[in-house]
Amino acid sequence: MATSTNDDQKNSLEEIEEDSPSILFAVMVGSVSVVGGFELVHWLGAKAKPTLAPWLIARGTGLALVIITSLLVAVGLWMVHPKRNKRKSFPHIITLNSAHKSLAGVGSVLLFLHVSSIIADSFAKVGLLGAFVPLKSAYRPIPVALGTVALYLCLAVGFTAWLKVRTKLFNWKMVHRFAIAAYCLILVHGITAGSDTVLVSGIYVASAIVITILATTRYLFDHKEHQKQAATAKN
């Protein structure tokens, strides 16, 4: 019993050691994303007037959220990518999992700030109803509706992932696959809901290219592997 307890404590300490750099990485990325988001918004020509504070927060956190979500989805795709699983390549799966969870935590905070500030913003006039009910926003109803649907998908994906830790009876993976749909909606929402410079649009394009490559290659390699297994089973 003593040996088993010592082993468990050792494994826990090893996981904490793996978690620490990942948490630090997520916090650093989140901080840089927020600062970068506000700087880019300022670059768009917005003046620091008190009445524009909610709009500035909404735009800044929105841009930061795009960056965090892109990294979150990219890490998630790489965790299950056939090439990574085949080569057991760096970084370690525990590190990737910790980074994934940490980025999700930072993203949740940004999402809360983004929705709260857009509700409080009298400039865009989205309002409480417009933020939570699709097509009820006076400001760009379709782009805002895409963001609302993305919000509900993110909540569903996050909640089922949280349940995964507490019960093994729930088929969380089925819901977790909607994360890619949420990412796509966030991307389109970001592009169509605001007025961005070429630089900001470039961030969206770069993000889309990276995620498309990871998602496509994961499917292709996975499909190829299944075909090999089917051919081997027949022989």
Domain coordinates in residue numbering, the chain: 2-234
Residue 104 neighbours by CB under 8 Å, 6+ apart: 72, 158, 161
Integer angstrom CA distances of residue 36 from 46, 81, 89: 15, 30, 31
Task: Write down the pLDDT at residue 170.
Answer: 63
The tokens 């916090």 sit on which residue? 27
Angle 159-163-168 from CA coordinates, rounded to 5°? 145
CA distance 183 to 149: 11
List for the chain the helix, strand, coil content (%; round to 5): 85, 0, 15
Nearest Cα to Cα of residue 171 among 184, 156, 185: 156
Identify which of 8-17, 54-63, 178-187 has the greatest average pLDDT: 178-187
CA distance 197 to 199: 5
For residue 209, pLDDT beyond 80: yes
Burial of 149 (0-12, 13-18, 19+ CB in 10 A): middle
Task: Write down the pLDDT at residue 226.
Answer: 65
CA distance 197 to 201: 6
Question: What is the gyration radius of the CA atoms in the chain, in angstroms?
Answer: 20
pLDDT > 90: percent of the chain? 26
180's enclosing H/E stretch is: helix 179-193
CA distance 192 to 190: 6
Mean per-residue pLDDT for 61-78? 89
CA distance 98 to 134: 34
Least confident window among 18-32, 49-63, 85-99, 137-151: 18-32
CA distance 121 to 226: 51
For residue 150, pLDDT beyond 90: yes
Q: From the centroid of its chain, how far is CA 164?
A: 18
Burial of 219 (0-12, 13-18, 19+ CB in 10 A): exposed
- Between residues 102 and 6, the one the model is more confident about: 102
For residue 109, pLDDT beyond 70: yes
Question: What is the average pLDDT score of the chain?
Answer: 76
Count of other CB atoms within 10 angstroms of residue 194: 18
